[in-house]
Amino acid sequence: MGEKVLFIDNRERSGLEDLVKKYCDKKGLKYQTRQNMITDYAFGSVGIESKSMADYMNSLYSGHLEHQLQNLDDNYNQGILLVWGTVDKYVADAKKGGRKIPYARAWSGFIGSLARWAVDYDVSIITLSDRSSAARFICKRFEKHGTIGGASTYRVMRRTNSEDMRMDVLRGAGCSEAIAERLLDQHGSIIEIAGLTGKELMKIEGVGKVRAQKILTVLSSEEPVPNEKVKMTRA
Give residue 148's pLDDT.
Answer: 39
Over the stretch 133-182, which tens digit does the pLDDT of each residue have? Answer: 999 999 999 988 643 333 323 333 333 345 677 787 787 777 878 888 88
Residue 235: the pLDDT is: 33
Residue 10: name the closest of 29, 34, 45 by CA.
34
Buried/exposed code over 126-164 (b: 16+ C-beta within 10 A; e: otherwise): bbbeebebbbbbbbbbbbeeeebbeeeebeebeebeeee
The domain segmentation of the chain, as residue ranges, is 6-156, 165-229
Of residues 125 and 160, which shows the higher confidence score?
125
- The yes or no reply on domain 165-229 and CATH 1.10.150.20 is yes
Give the Cα separation of 19 and 91 in Å (integer).
Answer: 25
Report the amino acid identity of residue 3.
E
Give me the architecture of the 6-156 domain, per CATH.
3-Layer(aba) Sandwich (3.40)
DSSP state of 63: S
Task: From 7, 17, 23, select the one nearest 139 (Cα to Cα).
Answer: 23
Could you report the per-residue pLDDT of 48-99, keeping only the tens digit for each? 999 999 999 988 877 788 888 888 888 888 899 999 999 989 999 988 988 8
Q: Quick one: average pLDDT of 179-208?
A: 87
> Residue 153: CA atoms inside 13 Å, Cβ hemisphere, count?
10
pTM over 0.75: no
